[in-house]
Amino acid sequence: MNSVRKNTSRFSRERGGSRLKLLIVGLITALVIYSGAQIVPVYYNATSLKELMQRKVNEAVLSNRTTATPSEWVEAQIRAVAPDYGIPPDALIDGEPRERRVTLRVRYVKSIPLPFYVYDYHFDHTVTSSNFFTQ
């Protein structure tokens, strides 16, 4: 019986160790979740914007626009949806025609607040209409 009592008394001195570990793990988990909640929407919007850009330059080449050149039409389309994709108002949106094709470039910097750090996400993507549509 004495040996059981010795083991119990030894463990009674180690109270609180698991609470501290739980707090540390909980804090780290909360920081990771918060960072992910800040970063994931920005990356998702950037990926969606890349797909939209490609679709719009292909539409510009396929359709016959009489009111504006295809490159101006593409720029206007991207500027119209800019707030939906988190594009800041000072973003560079440049469309230009090249050899019966349309090239569109969108470039901006977005600041993402993270714990203890502000990350500047640089978006710089250029798309060109497919060669399939111009032949």
- pLDDT attached to residue 62: 82
- pLDDT attached to residue 124: 96
From the number of C-beta atoms within 10 Å of its C-beta (0-12, 13-18, 19+), residue 97 rates as: middle
How much is the mean pLDDT over the chain? 85
Q: What is the pTM assigned to this prediction?
A: 0.77
Domain with 85, as residue range(s), is: 2-134
Average pLDDT, integer, range 65-90: 86
Q: Report d(CA 39, CA 44) in Å as an integer.
A: 9
Average pLDDT, integer, range 38-56: 95
Residues of the chain with pLDDT > 90, as a percent, come to 60
pLDDT of 109 above 60: yes
- pLDDT attached to residue 20: 86
- The amino acid present at 55, given as its one-letter code, is R
Q: Report d(CA 5, CA 80) in Å as an integer.
A: 75
Q: Report d(CA 77, CA 68) in Å as an integer.
A: 12
Q: Report d(CA 36, CA 112) in Å as an integer.
A: 11
The residue among 100 and 55 whose pLDDT is bigger is: 55
- pLDDT attached to residue 100: 79
Q: Report d(CA 96, CA 71) in Å as an integer.
A: 5
Average pLDDT, integer, range 76-88: 93
Q: How many domains does the chain have?
A: 1
pLDDT bucket at 130, cuts 50 / 70 / 90 = confident
Q: Report d(CA 83, CA 74) in Å as an integer.
A: 16
- Report residue 58 as tokens: 């292909």
